[in-house]
């Protein structure tokens, strides 16, 4: 029989979570899931359990996923070079075919199926379904043509509201649709931010492979628990925040400016990161606030 003290500890955890569950009931939480958090089967299971639990306690989760490591692997097998500029993938025609194949054909359906196995009803989508994510070609950045990279012009929020207010968890692959029906690659962080803003989500959560925003990227002890939009801009300007972290923090800023209450950057390579951040008093990552 399980130790009595362990049972009491579990009960205390549940009571600590209660006010947070009550506060989030009926609210939308957008979760961007990708990177190294998608490469370990045990971690995948705990993250998807977190998402399923949110739905079961009355929260409305929306999942936006990436898939960079798997895209890179397939590009490597096909001997297509991976190129990036300011944290964004330069996407020519051949690369776009691989991106769409991996994101919409494999990863999206794998996540959807695993969530369904946990007893919830997930539905896999990409931006081309019902014009969910409408885009135009993103302008050149510093003179660099990014190819088939999309700049979001519209989100079909009616579809997402309909699904989330019912019993479904939308699982969204960041492939957008252009004016002529062509496919465009969208940075998953950017897509998550725009979707959270369109839905006026209570929270936007980025699962990444570091603990959050650090004053010294190499020092885990320099983690910032709470940071303002103004301070983020200062850290971008002085180079503390750089590379692939820039789209994440820009997504945090944009979503907050458009009405999302809180955004979080969490380490998705530890078990149950979503529950630890939003259902406990202390939290584990960086929370971005207006002021």
Residue numbers in the known binding site are 67-68, 89, 185
Alpha carbon distance 185, 173 (integer Å): 10
For residue 174, give both structure tokens.
């960041």
> What is the H or E stretch that residue 285 is in?
none
H-state helical runs in the chain:
4-24, 41-56, 68-77, 93-100, 108-117, 157-165, 188-198, 229-237, 245-257, 273-278
For residue 64, give both structure tokens.
């936006």
Torsion of Cα atoms, 277 then 282 then 286 then 290, to 10°: 100
Cβ-based burial of 154 (10 A; exposed 0-12, middle 13-18, buried ≥19): middle
Alpha carbon distance 163, 183 (integer Å): 24
Annotated binding site for substrate: 67-68, 89, 185
Q: Are 279 and 20 in contact (CB under 8 A)?
A: yes
Alpha carbon distance 222, 140 (integer Å): 35
For residue 184, give both structure tokens.
């465009």
Of 67, 281, 75, the C-alpha closest to 185 is 67
| Terminal alpha carbon distance of the chain | 50
């Amino acid at each position: 029989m399980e130790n009595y003290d362990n049972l009491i500890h579990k009960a205390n955890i549940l009571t600590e979570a209660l006010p947070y569950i009550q506060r989030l009931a009926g609210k939308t939480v957008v979760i961007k899931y990708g990177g190294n958090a998608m490469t370990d089967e045990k971690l995948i299971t705990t993250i998807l359990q977190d998402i399923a639990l949110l739905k079961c306690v009355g929260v409305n989760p929306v999942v936006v996923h990436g898939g960079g490591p798997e895209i890179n692997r397939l590009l490597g097998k096909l001997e297509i070079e991976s190129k990036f500029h300011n944290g964004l993938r330069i996407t020519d025609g051949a690369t776009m075919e691989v991106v769409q194949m991996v994101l919409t054909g494999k990863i999206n359906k794998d996540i959807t199926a695993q969530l369904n196995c946990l007893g919830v009803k997930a539905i896999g989508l990409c931006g081309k379904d019902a014009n969910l994510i409408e885009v135009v070609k993103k302008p050149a950045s510093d003179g660099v043509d990014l190819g088939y990279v999309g700049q979001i012009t519209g989100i079909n929020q009616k579809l997402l509201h309909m699904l989330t207010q019912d019993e479904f968890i939308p699982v969204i692959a960041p492939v957008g649709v252009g004016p002529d029906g062509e496919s465009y690659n969208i940075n998953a962080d950017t897509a998550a931010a725009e979707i959270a803003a369109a839905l006026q989500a209570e929270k936007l959560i980025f699962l990444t492979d570091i603990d959050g925003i650090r004053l010294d990227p190499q020092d885990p002890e320099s983690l910032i628990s709470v940071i303002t939009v103004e301070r983020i801009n200062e850290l971008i300007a002085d180079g503390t925040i750089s590379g692939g972290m820039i789209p994440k923090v820009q997504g945090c800023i944009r979503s907050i400016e458009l009405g999302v209450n809180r955004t979080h950057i969490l380490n998705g390579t530890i078990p149950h990161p979503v529950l630890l951040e939003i259902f406990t008093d202390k939290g584990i990552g960086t929370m971005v606030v207006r002021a």
